[in-house]
Amino acid sequence: MELNDSIKTIKGIGDKTASAFARLGIETVNDLLLNYPRTYVTYEDPVDISDLQAGSRQSVRAVVNSRAEIRKVHGLTIVILYAKDFSGTIKLTWFNCPFLRNFFHIGQEFVFVGNVAYKGGMMTMTQPEYYTDDKYGELTHVWQPVYTVTPGITSKTIQKAVRGAEEVIDRLEDYLHDNVLDEYHIMGIQKAIHSIHFPQDEQKLKGAVKRMAFDEFYSFISNLHRIKDDNVYAENTCIINCDEEVRTFIENLRFKLTGAQMNAVRDMLDDMRSEHVMNRLVQGDVGSGKTIVAAAGLYAVAASGYQGVIMAPTEVLAVQHYKELSSLFEPYGISVGLLTGSMTAKEKREMYSRIKNMDVQVVVGTHALIQDKVEYGRLALVVTDEQHRFGVKQRERLASKGEAPHTLVMSATPIPRTLAIIMYGDLDISVIDELPAGRIPIKNCVVDESYRKTALGFIMKEVSQGHQIYIVCPMVEASEVLDDVANVTEYTEELKKSIRDGYGADTSVVCLHGKMKAEEKNRILQDFADGKISILVSTTVIEVGINNPNATVMMVENAERFGLAQLHQLRGRVGRGNLQSYCIFMSGKKDKDTMERLNVLEKSNDGFYIAGEDLKMRGPGDFFGIRQSGELMFKVGDIYNHADMLRAAQDVYDRYGQEIDAKLINKGDDRLYTMPVL
């Protein structure tokens, strides 16, 4: 058995199971080994119901004292059961498990394990696991991996398959010499792959995660350097030299640019008239005005007889960019076109023709911009909005549409400069470190569950004034059955009920989740942008993708489960107009460390300060909790949690990169470079 062999070479995996694995993107043995658990759980001794703590994952030993109740909500089958011990009663809820209706009987004793919440005056668990006492005893105090699953594939299926591939793990040759492993305290590859799938204890698991993070960072850095080597010497065939025109464009804006914005514009103009093509990152905090810098660049290329494109991460944001740029450029006779995936085939064909014939000088769109059918007339500038949503390969594919276009990347991810230099190694960096004048600072508060009633009252007051609200729920972890769909659906229904019961109001509350089709997501986001939805409840990544000046409140549930940098990104969805805005961080924990960490957000609205504090307060190896989704999408590596490995990867590349790359290329070993990092 070899790394590139089909997964069907593993004993017990036939065509049907292989098809199910393919839905997870797993087709080879290599894919399987690189499919890491998304989290790990341990099973602790059960506690009394009266000792349960909301916001934690715990277990209770309880006796069933009701018949199972079935409800139907928005196509979901909900099973509700009550169980008790000597200290109290707990409500248990399952989604899409109708078979449980006749499984439980009054008087039976089980150990129930799940995420605890306090709702409706009692403790609850949603989608709890359930075990007999004997079975639970076999699981206690053992680390259990939890994988992303699909119908036909469970975590146990994946773990069994990895067991079947152990002979391949045992033959893996490490690309790092023993002296490098020792110097940087990195675990060997065989031990790391084994430990990440079969952790024996927390220490080995942390070591394995650090090694996998190192591999991802090293692969990323190596590829960036290869890209930079290609780009640095690329001749500038699109000389843009129109400083006077750009100065006039900026002077005619209805607002004045900040000094930092002007510096970024100057950097960009200097690059575009130099002998080499521009590859520049504009890194600015949320609301710092990066888009107008990009607009100045797009104006410059259009005024010079070339084309520019700007690619947005969501269709709603693309439409917003299109409207804003059309308004800005109309007085200058510059035509702006829109190209998105939801357009009809006829609309797309018409736009393809207009782009090819230079009838539009600026094109705004989504991933549709990089399709093979799109041919540009004289493409000179590629702008990608929110770098972390695309990745280097997609950016390169868009750039390949022109001979050697200039590239401008805009990122609101507040990465400390020391790490940004590594992460964006192929780009020169401009930082916008001041906010436009007149921006009203967001008011923040960090609260616990006792504040919930007050928070809802405040939200309803804002709604009554015609304002809109975001509520973000964390993704549910440690469960194969319950996903963010069920969680956000249940939350939304309970919120509607609370509003009806407490305020008698018929408020538009809509949920948005990652399993929705793109068309439905776009429709909901557009309705929210148009003011048709008062409260948007979401678990999906909304830290980019929408600009709604009328949204004045962001409430984040279980804020302790997010990194500070991501919370700051979420906060950036409000405060985008001239209305006073607020952010409520609802914490499920009240311990000193949690509150101290979250209070950083109360003290400051400066993303770069917060990123630095995040880096200091979350030590290396602190990898539990929700992944930072606002960064480049590594599978394991987190630039905050594993900052030491990021620096180590850069150091190893600087010292041994040529030797390592030559060794891998000579062996024909592309394992490292097939990791889904770029």
Reported as a single tens digit per residue, the pLDDT across 155-175 is 889 989 999 999 889 888 888
Of these ranges, 305-314, 463-472, 489-498, 660-669, the one predicted with the greatest mean pLDDT is: 463-472
What is the distance between the alpha carbons of residues 593 and 464, in angstroms, rounded to a whole number?
36
Mean pLDDT, the chain, as a whole number? 83
pTM: 0.67
CATH number of 43-142: 2.40.50.140
* Partners of residue 284 on adjacent β-strands: 432
Q: Are 223 and 216 within 8 A, CB to CB?
A: no
What is the distance between the alpha carbons of residues 488 and 584, in angstroms, rounded to a whole number?
18
Domain ranges within the chain, ordered by starting residue: 43-142, 230-432, 443-604
Q: For residue 478, what pLDDT band results from cuts at 50, 70 and 90?
A: very low
What is the distance between the alpha carbons of residues 318 and 312, in angstroms, rounded to a whole number?
5
The two three-digit tokens of residue 186, written as one number: 């990195």
Q: How many residues does the chain have?
A: 678
DSSP string covering 329-387, please? HGGGT--EEEE-TTS-HHHHHHHHHHHHTTS-SEEEESGGGGSTT---SSEEEEEEESG
Reported as a single tens digit per residue, the pLDDT across 171-218 is 888 889 999 999 999 999 999 999 999 988 888 999 999 999 999 888
What is the distance between the alpha carbons of residues 200 and 187, in angstroms, rounded to a whole number?
14
Q: For residue 335, what pLDDT band results from cuts at 50, 70 and 90?
A: very high
CATH number of 443-604: 3.40.50.300
Query: What does the pLDDT read at residue 674?
Result: 39
Reported as a single tens digit per residue, the pLDDT across 511-563 is 887 777 777 888 888 898 889 999 999 875 564 556 788 999 999 988 887 87
Query: What does the pLDDT read at residue 476?
Result: 52
What is the distance between the alpha carbons of residues 546 and 317, in angstroms, rounded to a whole number?
5
Q: Which residue has the tokens 């200058």?
A: 332
User: Is pLDDT above 60 for 51?
Assistant: yes
- What region does 59 belong to: left with phi over 0, alpha with psi -120 to 50, or beta? beta
Instruction: Tell me whether strands 122-131 and 57-64 are parallel, antiparallel or unpaired.
Output: unpaired
Q: Are 266 and 297 within 8 A, CB to CB?
A: no
**Whose CA is closest to 544, among 633, 423, 447?**
633
User: Is pLDDT above 80 for 221?
Assistant: yes
Query: What does the pLDDT read at residue 295?
Result: 95
Are both 230-432 and 443-604 of the same fold? Answer: yes
Q: Going by C-beta distance under 8 Å and a sequence separation of 6 or more, which residues neighbour residue 358?
A: 307, 377, 378
Q: Are 430 and 280 within 8 A, CB to CB?
A: yes
Q: How far is CA 66 from CA 27, 58, 69, 77, in A?
A: 45, 22, 9, 18
**Whose CA is closest to 445, among 254, 214, 601?**
601
The two three-digit tokens of residue 442, written as one number: 């967001």
Radius of gyration of the chain (CA): 26
Reported as a single tens digit per residue, the pLDDT across 558-580 is 888 787 877 888 888 888 878 89
* Partners of residue 155 on adjacent β-strands: none
User: Is pLDDT above 80 for 618?
Assistant: no
CATH number of 230-432: 3.40.50.300
